Each structure stands twice: as C-alpha cells, then as structure tokens.
Amino acid sequence: MEFRVIPFKKKTVTDDSVAKGEKSVRTSGVNGTRRLTYRVTYVNGAQTAKKLVKQEVAKEPRTQITVVGTKVDEPASGRGCDPNYSGCVPIASDVDCSGGSGNGPEYVQGPIRVTGSDIYRLDADHDGIACE
C-alpha cells in the first residue's frame, strides 16, 4: 500500500463588504491523501511486477479560499458621484473647483472630463475639461 498527496486547489472570491485592495485567506487549504493498493509479484525474492489494483481517496483535499475586497468608500459627502463627470464629483447642492473663488459646500480637484451636462458650471471655457 502506498499513499500519495492530493494537492489542494486555490480559489479567489470577491467581497463587496471588504475594503478594496484588502486580501485575506478565508479558508485554509489542506492537502488530501490518495491510498494506492498494488499487487506485487516476487520471484526468488526479487520484485518482478507491480500492478495497481485499487486506488481510493483516503482524505479529501480542502480548497483554499482567498477573499479580495471590492468595497469602495464614498466621498466625504457620502452622497455618491455625479454621472455627468469622470472621476468622482460629489453630488451636492453646489460643487466648485478647489482653489477657485467658489463657496462650495463641496470642492473637486481637476482636471475632470465633463461626460454629460455641466450642472455645476465647472467648465468655464466649455472645452469639455472642468477645473483645469
């Protein structure tokens, strides 16, 4: 009889309740064992044949599961990003360019591409690039 290792498999899953970039092993992998039974023939004390007659899993391997986080924190306003702009322009009563003369309450650092309507009037020269 002989035993052989069955290597464990690895699986990665995403989890939107874990912060983006964080990675951890949720379930440790464990190797399994396969039992091999042979019929061995000897002539004058010397082995002349070895035939596998049975193989069975003595212990199943356990897959290692690694979790990778995908949760992205909301901006400070907590209200999400306006779809009219690339990047993340917060949704607020008013948004102004950082370092400009606007009075907020929210500010954004540019340059930012206008992808829809320039509802906060951040693109002063109307070239599609805001806060430049």
In tens, the pLDDT along 18-28 reads 888 889 999 99
Q: What angle do CA 36, 37, 39 make, to 5 degrees?
A: 140
Summarised one tens digit per residue, pLDDT across range 82-104 is 899 988 888 888 888 887 777 87
Distance from C-alpha of 45 to C-alpha of 9, rounded to nearest angstrom: 41
Q: Is the pLDDT of residue 77 over 50?
A: no
Distance from C-alpha of 75 to C-alpha of 49, rounded to nearest angstrom: 72
Q: Which domains does the chain have, with CATH numbers?
A: 2-71 (2.20.230.10), 74-132 (no CATH)
Q: Is the pLDDT of residue 76 over 80?
A: no
Summarised one tens digit per residue, pLDDT across range 107-129 is 888 889 999 999 999 998 999 99
